[in-house]
Chain A
């Protein structure tokens, strides 16, 4: 039984405007437009179009046929699916490599014209051709549009007949002759197709027409279809006259000419002179238009066999002349020919081709045995990520994640970090490449994305081939624009916000990235399956702005030190070690010291606290990413030299641990309305330290009650107020252990991996390999 199924159609050939008039383009457009109608006749389907986002958009009428469009060939969960390729020569085969290598997918392709595979003698082209043949061999079933293409596919790929089903190039039915048409009463023009390199065959047709009775009449013209050199045209005109033809009755007609449909409408017959490798489009069109065909080919077998009427040796112009007269004057003979051609004419009309194609495909896909699923072994995961010793929050996180993820998967890491530090839990480490995204060896491919410039290659692979993605934090607008260019970046932002950017708006975002309203996640969300994010706020934005579900994975706290209860004795000892005076209110800002963390505002807040007679001091504990001279000068100018401290010297890890214990309160600010949690914030919360954040940051995690928020638009007065209020509240609520324990459990690495596995639709329970 053929139940609800998943169809993926490769639409890339339809994105190329140059393909629209070609035979291959017509085949593709016809099938793409009719897929839903024919596939849903008796079944429910999910119809997905595969496109290349670098290429022009599809025509709207085609786009609207699909449940969704996808810019990559990655499927998050392998499931029985049918993949249809309309033109295996168009588009990069690597982009769909994962599909072509999949056991779960039934893969079918149109084979339009074998001549396009081996036309160029250049070595590079021949290598490319061999490469493409390698990918072509991965298809399960082939639909050649000519019998020559069918022969070729069998000969080159060794494909048996059971894997080949002929199809055809669709033609539109020509409008019936208007009232008063002379097709049945008066001899219309005689059409001649082909000739190609054989002038002799053309001269035979010319002689035949010139010597036929109807051809010598005043009304019947001879139209030779095709682009023939002027010297041929002169010679043939002269030959026509010398053979007794009426001057001016021989004309030449371009195959792409708009006159051709009109010529079909009234034509007496079509003489076909040569078969061979070319596509028999002209014959199909003639049949569809109800024009009898006289077959003068040397050998039939170009796929149009069965369409044609009487055969004639191409050199026998006398017999051909008689046939012209008969088909033009003997109405009964003509009708008989048309009746013989009728079944074939149905087969070349767009509707008929589409119906036959989709019915055949459905039957073959339904009868194919299902491939086995993953079961019985650990899932094999490829992780594309930077690694230590490269330094960034995401690399630290990846290293910790790998150690944990390796416990429940066969984990293979691909990285562009030179001489990477190998974490435990890795089965193999390899240089970054497209290989994991194409190989069927990996059940899932996961990219770790942190939008800083060194990770551009991972971004490019994701955008080309798709995959699951862990978005460590939000893309930096500046870095993202460097990746994709300003114009495209602007388009992405405008598409996300559904409004044009105001003049200077993008520049303002770049000057102060915390003011950016766009997440720039649109493309990544559509390319990822799924896009995992570390912020509830971002997950909601992705849902609201792109209508894509992005699983929220609570960022795990990296277990770098003991985070036991902040009991008084160790706390006092830590304060003594750090030189924090008794009675001083120690406010700490952990993490990289950078402009978005609002250090100036925090210093101003300390000035307010002093005016409010609160003995508070502020400690910046972390590496500075900005010049601190300005901050020191501000502190001095406000008379706060003894209340503002910069703790930047190693060992920072140990000092952070001490300050987490010694501090009264933390200020972990990050401007902007697109909230993201940070590792230092998790440290504060898991340490049970009352912390001031912005509302967007608070909303991005499951914040316990001792995390207080100020507005996203940071103001020194609001920071000072929040600190003063929190200190007052701190005295009232001394015990936060239960909330802290709960938060720690939810933000542990094992919990993170379990949720990641669920997001990847993998069973997270450990099994024996």
Chain B
């Protein structure tokens, strides 16, 4: 007989420090799109008591809202809702606790290991990626070490699902080194832009990159590619959106050098409406990251019908049927320039737009439905 008790969703980090991260975005989409028969009960780890406590489900109105901006304002809205709480028993947690977060807290990890020591536990985790552990070069020094408590707790969790097949495979083969330790994977949604489907027009001449500027995202190569094109007289505009990471010294220098370049438009971090405006003027987006846990931006681009130029090995686009995108196996400035130049041709671009329009892109509702079904399954 299946339990009808709510699923306890561990939102410790989101409740304590609501900011704009990829992981918190997934949490918010789960809250917004939750379709399960069983209700969600928010909870958090209470460091003072060393256990988990419930939180008023009114926090969902804040976290699921489209109008509240992450940050201090949201934190103030959440704070009074965290007061009324009830300590959760190990028995409750053991059967219904679901963690969709990544954390670094040793005490929280110890609590998970303690709960999971019950062989019949049904504690469930959503796994994102293992980049800090397997590609430490992409992170500040000692990041992997400081994240080890999370991994330490994870190895005790029997029920896991992943956001991509790559994450699922790495969990089995490199983190657990045990093919029996596995779980399903559920692709994230591509409909987060919440905008109308785009139509091709020859007036769309610009290309855009939307995403944080970190060294592994290869934005420097994108810039180099466009400089090659501009030097050859291909006057194609490029718009870049999002924050510049502190470690991206090469990209910082290039953007500084190109500050007066009229064909380059670097916007930094902007609101969602501006992102939508950029997409409305884009012929194709670029996303050429060397490594991703998933890679949402090209999926969102394709979701509204805008083709994408992507690197091979992106979990998000590798899972899609062919079409609507140009995939570059060897990400070099020359190859990227060639891909962009091919799309300057209106006929080629129009063909790719047609293909993109045919793709069925997974939605957040699909993702959340999959997660809910899995959590509610025996």
Contacts and interface: CB of A to CB of B under 8 A. Distances in A.
Interface of A: 499, 502, 512, 514-515, 600-601, 604, 607-608, 611-612, 637-638, 671, 711-718, 721, 724
Contact of B136 (A499, A600, A711): A711
B196 to A, nearest CB: 42
Interface stretch (B56-64, B170-178, B280-288, B303-311): B170-178
A677 B175 CA distance: 30
Contacts of B134: 715, 717-718
Given A637-B106, A718-B134, A713 B175 contact: no
Given A611-B176, A637-B106, A715 B144 contact: yes
A96 to B, nearest CB: 42
Interface stretch (B9-17, B148-156, B257-265, B291-299): B148-156
Interface string B178-197: 10000000000000000000
B20 interface: no
A515 B141 contact: yes
Contacts of B106: 637
B34 interface: no
Nearest to A710: B136
Contact of A604 (B137, B148, B178, B249): B148
Report the 8 A-B pairs with minimum CB-CB distance, sorted nearest first.
A715-B144, A713-B136, A717-B133, A715-B136, A713-B137, A604-B148, A612-B177, A611-B155
Contacts of A502: 246, 249
A272 to B, nearest CB: 62
Contact of B174 (A601, A604, A611, A721): A721
B133 A718 contact: yes
Contacts of A607: 148, 152
Given A607-B152, A638-B152, A601 B145 contact: yes
B177 A724 contact: yes
Nearest to B139: A713
B149 to A, nearest CB: 9
Contact of B144 (A515, A712, A716, A721): A716
A540 B340 CA distance: 38
Nearest to B109: A637
Contact of A718 (B136, B151, B155, B253): B136
Contact of B148 (A671, A716, A724): A716
27 contacts: A499-B249, A499-B253, A515-B141, A600-B145, A604-B145, A607-B148, A607-B152, A611-B176, A612-B176, A612-B178, A638-B152, A712-B137, A713-B137, A713-B141, A713-B144, A714-B144, A714-B145, A716-B144, A716-B145, A717-B130, A717-B133, A717-B134, A717-B151, A717-B174, A717-B175, A718-B133, A718-B134
Contacts of B137: 711-713
Interface string B310-324: 000000000000000
Contacts of A499: 249, 253
B142 interface: yes
Contacts of A601: 144-145
Contacts of A671: 141
A724 B155 CA distance: 17
A611 B177 CA distance: 9
Most buried by B among A502, A608, A714, A717: A717
Interface in B222-253: 246, 249, 253
A515 B141 CA distance: 7
Nearest to B132: A715
Contacts of B145: 600-601, 604, 714-716
A625 to B, nearest CB: 18
Most buried by A among B110, B130, B137, B142: B142
Nearest to A717: B133
Contacts of A611: 155, 176
Nearest to A511: B141
A600 B132 CA distance: 16
B260 to A, nearest CB: 20
Nearest to B177: A612
A713 B249 CA distance: 18
Given A611-B176, A714-B136, 9 more contacts: A499-B249, A607-B148, A608-B151, A637-B110, A713-B136, A717-B130, A717-B134, A717-B151, A717-B175
Contacts of B130: 717
A643 to B, nearest CB: 15
B144 A717 contact: yes
Interface string B122-143: 0000000010111011010110
Contacts of B110: 637
A492 B191 CA distance: 51
Given A611-B176, A638-B152, A721-B174, A715 B133 contact: yes
A607 B153 CA distance: 11
Contacts of A514: 141
Nearest to A673: B137
A512 B141 CA distance: 9
A600 B141 CA distance: 13
A120 to B, nearest CB: 54
B176 A512 contact: no
Contacts of A721: 174
A507 B313 CA distance: 37
Contacts of A724: 177
A612 B177 CA distance: 7
A718 B148 CA distance: 12
Nearest to A505: B249
Contacts of A718: 133-134, 136
B325 to A, nearest CB: 31
Most buried by A among B110, B145, B174, B253: B145
Contacts of B175: 717
A69 to B, nearest CB: 29
B140 to A, nearest CB: 9
B112 to A, nearest CB: 14
A65 to B, nearest CB: 33
A399 B132 CA distance: 44
A638 B141 CA distance: 22
Nearest to B253: A499
A516 to B, nearest CB: 11
A718 B130 CA distance: 11
